[in-house]
């Protein structure tokens, strides 16, 4: 019996796409790649691993392959997931792993911190209003309330069973709650300039503000754990393969996942320009309770961390460290050594220039690999933040080929 109001054309569209994804997922190469990811994440690498994420999909739609037709919003979202997975598999798979099942996430509601960005000005002159100017203002940051909309979860599962039934297994999963940033929300409510000035002018207020956000994140995690709303083992942690033999660990209860069985991602991009001492004081030390409660930690995003590795190394359960295009490779590898994975972020600007220089791309990746080998660093290449390829999607396809050639030696 069908779900009320179902988009019948959408159901059939999703079903046909799911058949193709199931065919891809059945290929033996995925088990081989899972073993390679587990080896890398266990600091026993067989070779560098390669991932591509955060793609400029608007420039990829060759022949309408990515054009969605579903009218129902949920079916349309699932259609996109399937279409983009097929497209990536056929054009730039690198070390992508296609799962043999389809995840439906529980409908988790989070009230958030009760304060968000206020934008003032127009277009190019628009800025975030500084809403935290005194110790009293710190109290504007509310403690989140997390609940489960069981009726919505049941509706989504019913729709998924109708669309995927008999084609792919549907698995209900929890909330993939892994991004533990306090400085992203702080930059939203203060503006970057306001927050950086306050580190000097109002240090006590900023310490209290960071502590308030840490308390809020802790409260949200406690509620997710108590209600059994966290996800199971993650396939990805911030654009990187998260497959590991170490998680979720002994005593894992699928009905009550805990943070100890998950990866966490930490980042403080706004603190790129502060001193290592300030980074330690306002990021590493106050977030210790969060780092400690997760099984493994991936740290960093676009901020250069090569000059802050002494402080980054203090993070407990650390396993991967991001080295962005703005980091000095040699210095970063010296700091990482063989203790963590060197998560290399190749520069996506190489795909956006007037010309596409294959030799330069190959040389850049090869240099990184050789530096990491010299310092005993396990390494992965994670191409992300791809804003444009100048409407030449074949550039991305070719980058993928070059990267795999370098990775496979």
- Residue 351 gets which letter from DSSP? G
Phi, psi of 246 (to 5 degrees): -90, -20
> What percent of the chain has a predicted confidence (pLDDT) above 70?
99
> What percent of the chain has a predicted confidence (pLDDT) above 90?
94
8 Å CB contact between 205 and 186? no
Average the pLDDT over each of 14-28, 113-127, 358-372, 383-397 and give the range with the smallest value: 113-127
Nearest-angstrom CA–CA distance, 327 and 319: 18
Provide the β-strand partners of residue 296: 263
pLDDT for res 209: 98
Nearest-angstrom CA–CA distance, 210 and 352: 37
Nearest to 266 by CA among 283, 244, 242, 249: 283
Count CB-CB contacts under 10 A for residue 26: 10
The whole-chain average pLDDT of the chain stands at 96
8 Å CB contact between 368 and 344? yes
- Kindly give the pairing relationship between strand 49-52 and strand 379-383: parallel
What digits encode the pLDDT tens for the residues 229-285?
999 999 999 999 999 999 999 999 999 999 999 999 999 999 999 999 999 999 999
What digits encode the pLDDT tens for the residues 66-86?
999 999 999 999 999 999 999
Q: Which residue has the tokens 């070719």?
A: 398
pLDDT for res 5: 56
Contacts 24+ apart (CB under 8 A), 319-324: 319/41, 319/43, 319/263, 320/41, 320/237, 320/240, 320/380, 322/267, 322/298, 324/300
The answer on pLDDT for 211 being more than 60 is yes
Phi, psi of 296 (to 5 degrees): -140, 155
pLDDT for res 298: 98
Going 162 to 168 to 169 to 173, the CA torsion angle's sign is negative
**Residues present in the chain in total:** 409
Nearest to 189 by CA among 218, 209, 217: 209
The answer on pLDDT for 1 being more than 70 is no
pLDDT for res 122: 77
Nearest-angstrom CA–CA distance, 338 and 55: 30
Average pLDDT over residues 328-342: 98
| pLDDT band (50, 70, 90) for residue 121 | confident
Phi, psi of 264 (to 5 degrees): -120, 145
Gap between the terminal Cα atoms of the chain: 54
What digits encode the pLDDT tens for the residues 374-392?
999 999 999 999 999 999 9
Average pLDDT over residues 123-129: 83
The answer on pLDDT for 124 being more than 90 is no
pLDDT for res 4: 47
pLDDT for res 2: 45
Average pLDDT over residues 108-126: 89
Q: b/e map of 168-201 (b: 16 or more CB within 10 Å)? A: bebeebbbbbbebbbbebbbbbbbbebbbebbee
- Residue 281 gets which letter from DSSP? I
Calculate the CA 65 to chain-centre distance.
25
């Amino acid at each position: 019996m069908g779900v009320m109001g179902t988009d019948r054309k959408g159901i059939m569209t999703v079903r046909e796409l799911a058949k193709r994804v199931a065919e891809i997922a059945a290929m033996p190469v995925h088990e081989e790649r899972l073993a390679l990811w587990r080896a890398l994440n266990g600091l026993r690498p067989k070779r560098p691993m390669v991932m591509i994420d955060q793609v400029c999909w608007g420039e990829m739609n060759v022949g309408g392959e990515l054009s969605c037709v579903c009218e129902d919003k949920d079916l349309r979202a699932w259609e996109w997931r399937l279409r983009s997975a097929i497209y990536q598999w056929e054009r730039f798979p690198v070390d992508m792993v296609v799962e043999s099942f389809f995840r439906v996430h529980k409908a988790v509601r989070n009230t958030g911190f009760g304060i968000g960005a206020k934008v003032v000005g127009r277009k190019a002159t628009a800025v975030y209003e500084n809403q935290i100017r005194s110790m009293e203002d710190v109290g504007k940051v509310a403690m989140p309330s997390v609940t489960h909309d069981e009726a919505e979860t049941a509706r989504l599962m019913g729709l998924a069973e109708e669309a995927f039934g008999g084609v792919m297994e549907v698995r209900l999963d929890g909330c993939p709650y892994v991004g533990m940033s306090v400085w992203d929300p702080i930059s939203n409510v203060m503006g970057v300039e306001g927050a950086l000035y306050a580190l000097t002018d109002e240090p006590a207020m900023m310490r209290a503000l960071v502590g308030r956000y840490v308390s809020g994140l802790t409260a949200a995690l406690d509620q997710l754990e108590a209600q059994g709303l966290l996800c199971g083992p993650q396939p990805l942690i911030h654009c990187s393969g998260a497959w590991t033999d170490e998680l979720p660990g002994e005593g894992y209860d699928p009905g009550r996942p805990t943070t100890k069985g998950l990866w966490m991602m930490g980042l403080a991009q706004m603190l790129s320009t502060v001193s290592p001492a300030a980074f330690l004081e306002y990021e590493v030390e106050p977030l210790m309770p969060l780092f400690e409660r997760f099984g493994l930690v991936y740290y960093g995003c676009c901020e250069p961390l090569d000059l802050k590795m002494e402080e980054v190394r203090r993070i407990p359960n650390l396993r991967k460290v991001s080295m962005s295009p703005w980091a000095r490779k040699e210095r970063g590898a010296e700091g990482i050594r063989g203790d963590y994975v060197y998560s290399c972020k190749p520069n996506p600007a190489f795909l956006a220039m007037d010309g596409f220089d294959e030799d330069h791309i190959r040389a850049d990746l090869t240099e990184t690999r050789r530096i990491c080998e010299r310092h005993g660093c396990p390494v992965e290449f994670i191409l992300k933040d791809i804003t444009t390829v100048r409407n030449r999607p074949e550039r991305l396809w070719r980058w993928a080929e070059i990267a795999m050639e370098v990775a496979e030696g």
